């Protein structure tokens, strides 16, 4: 577990600087050019460099001054501060993976009765962390083993354990849960997921999707790291629901960055980069595209889609007929209802994933793509 992200980051930076220096076969005392750049005598510069290479903040000083960071970058990485601080592209991808995994595990709003330690990096709750955690869960539900365990725990097991006359109330209750997951900022099921499927399966699902996710997200993340390293402010955009106007409204803020590296490289600033609205939209669009094959049919639906539609069907048809109905019974009164076709599709996909390991196209009644979205629109690739 990383107890302090900043300390972890400084140690990584220090080790990287030491490795770069050794590649040049220079001792600390031989860094005369560095000494001249930072305006210190060689011995003083060596002592100062020792603090930096060990990832320690010297009393009454920043981790690294502007002069020192510029000097080290010019001397060791041809002026590239991204490479100096974060390494090569593979190192940047590892950092992105750590940040995403941290958000996944810290997405659930803690309850007053909770007395648990958050894994990996222990951070305070934030509704934007929930949103990213929810999106990651959706991607993980594309992993068949995780999807199967999730469906069984949240749908089939609860319904099977209750008498028929109690199932409608249970369905409404479970539907409220799924609305939480679908909503932007209303919590997720991390604690319940871990208790039901186990940490091992959760980690396996994350590992199964993270390489592809990072491949798509990496160019965006790298540009944002450049802003964090060089810029004087970070633009941050969110979308929040306005209860009075009953619509989502975008909010735009600019966070001023201190010149001090210890302020600039706070964990919260890294999280700002990947909870920005452009990243949220990018991941949502990517998730939508991942559910479609080249023929615009659905390979699979995650639990959230499948269960939402089954719940809508049950509640709508029960209201329509003013009595409870059995979802698995075809009658003249429901067979021609469009919602019934959704149920048929969801059942087909659910059965497929509960009984098959290999992926193939499932023929469906209902068009796979929402009618108001053009999946050929290039903007989905450049959100």
- Residue 301 confidence (pLDDT): 47
- Residue 328 confidence (pLDDT): 45
**Least confident among 190-199, 308-317, 370-379:** 370-379
What is the β-pairing status of strands 247-256 and 233-242? antiparallel
Residue 155 — pLDDT band, cuts 50, 70, 90? low
- Residue 114 confidence (pLDDT): 45
Tell me what the pLDDT averaged over the chain comes to.
70
Longest dimension (CA), the chain: 91
Residue-range domains of the chain with CATH: 5-86 (1.10.260.40), 101-109+119-157+190-289 (no CATH)
Residue 16 — pLDDT band, cuts 50, 70, 90? very high
Residue 86 — pLDDT band, cuts 50, 70, 90? very high
Residue 97 — pLDDT band, cuts 50, 70, 90? very high
pLDDT digits (tens, 9 = 90+) for 197-213: 677 888 888 999 999 99
Taking the whole predicted model, whether its pTM rises above 0.85 is answered as: no
Q: Is the pLDDT of residue 221 over 90?
A: yes
Percent of the chain exceeding pLDDT 70 equals 51
Contact 121, 5 (CB under 8 A): yes
Q: Is the pLDDT of residue 298 over 90?
A: no
pLDDT digits (tens, 9 = 90+) for 309-348: 555 555 554 554 444 444 444 444 445 555 556 556 656 6
pLDDT digits (tens, 9 = 90+) for 100-138: 988 888 755 554 444 444 444 556 667 788 778 878 887
- Residue 169 confidence (pLDDT): 64
Question: Is the pLDDT higher at 132 or at 294?
Answer: 132
Supply the DSSP string of 112-173, one letter for each residue: TT---PPSSB-----HHHHHHHHHHHHHHTTSHHHHHHHHIIIIIHHHHTS-HHHHHHHHHH
- Residue 374 confidence (pLDDT): 35
Residue 25 — pLDDT band, cuts 50, 70, 90? confident
Contacts 24+ apart (CB under 8 A), 59-65: 62/260, 62/261, 62/262, 63/10, 63/261, 63/262, 63/265, 64/13, 64/261, 65/38
- Residue 220 confidence (pLDDT): 92
Residue 219 — pLDDT band, cuts 50, 70, 90? very high
Using CA atoms, how far apart are residues 191 and 109, in angstroms rounded to an integer? 10
Q: Radius of gyration over alpha carbons of the chain, in Å? A: 26
Q: Is the pLDDT of residue 15 over 80?
A: yes
- Residue 319 confidence (pLDDT): 52
pLDDT digits (tens, 9 = 90+) for 57-83: 887 788 988 888 888 888 889 999 999
Q: Which of 221, 227, 241 shows the shortest CA–CA distance to 282? A: 221
Rounded to 5 degrees, what angle do the CA atoms 131, 180, 302 make? 80
- Residue 186 confidence (pLDDT): 43
Residue 368 — pLDDT band, cuts 50, 70, 90? very low
**Least confident among 75-89, 116-130, 208-222, 261-275:** 116-130
Q: Which of 245, 258, 248, 311 shows the shortest CA–CA distance to 281? A: 248
């Amino acid at each position: 577990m990383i107890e302090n992200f900043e300390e972890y980051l400084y140690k990584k930076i220090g080790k990287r600087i030491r490795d770069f220096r050794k590649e040049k076969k220079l001792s600390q005392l031989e860094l005369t050019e560095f000494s001249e750049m930072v305006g210190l005598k060689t011995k003083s510069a060596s002592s100062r460099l020792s603090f930096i290479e060990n990832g320690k903040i010297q009393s009454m000083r920043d981790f690294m001054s502007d002069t020192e960071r510029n000097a080290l970058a010019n001397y060791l990485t041809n002026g590239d501060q991204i490479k100096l601080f974060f390494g090569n592209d593979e190192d940047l991808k590892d950092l992105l993976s750590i940040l995403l995994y941290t958000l996944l595990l810290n997405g659930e709003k803690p309850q007053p009765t909770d007395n648990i330690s958050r894994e990996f990096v222990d951070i305070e709750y934030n509704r934007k962390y929930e949103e990213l955690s929810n999106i990651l869960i959706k991607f993980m539900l594309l992993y068949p083993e995780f999807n199967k365990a999730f469906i069984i725990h949240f749908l089939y097991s609860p319904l099977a354990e209750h008498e028929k006359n109690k199932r409608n109330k249970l369905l409404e209750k479970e539907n409220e849960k799924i609305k939480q997951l679908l909503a932007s900022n209303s919590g997720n099921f991390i604690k319940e997921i871990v208790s039901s499927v186990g940490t091992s399966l959760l980690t396996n699902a994350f590992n199964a999707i993270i390489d592809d996710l990072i491949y798509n997200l990496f160019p965006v993340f790298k540009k944002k790291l450049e802003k964090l390293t060089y810029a004087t402010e970070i633009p941050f955009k969110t979308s929040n629901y306005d209860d009075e106007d009953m619509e989502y409204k975008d909010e735009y803020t600019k966070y001023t960055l201190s010149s001090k590296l210890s302020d600039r490289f706070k964990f919260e600033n890294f999280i700002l980069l990947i909870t920005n609205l452009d990243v949220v939209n990018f991941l949502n669009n990517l998730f939508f595209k991942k559910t479609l094959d080249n023929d615009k049919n659905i390979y699979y639906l995650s639990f959230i889609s499948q269960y939402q539609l089954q719940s809508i069907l049950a509640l709508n048809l029960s209201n329509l007929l003013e009595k409870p109905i059995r979802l698995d019974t075809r009658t003249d009164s429901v067979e021609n209802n469009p919602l019934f076709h959704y149920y048929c599709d969801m059942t087909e996909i659910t059965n497929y994933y509960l009984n098959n390991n290999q992926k193939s196209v499932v023929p469906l009644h209902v068009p796979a793509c929402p009618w108001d979205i053009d999946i050929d629109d290039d903007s989905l690739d450049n959100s």
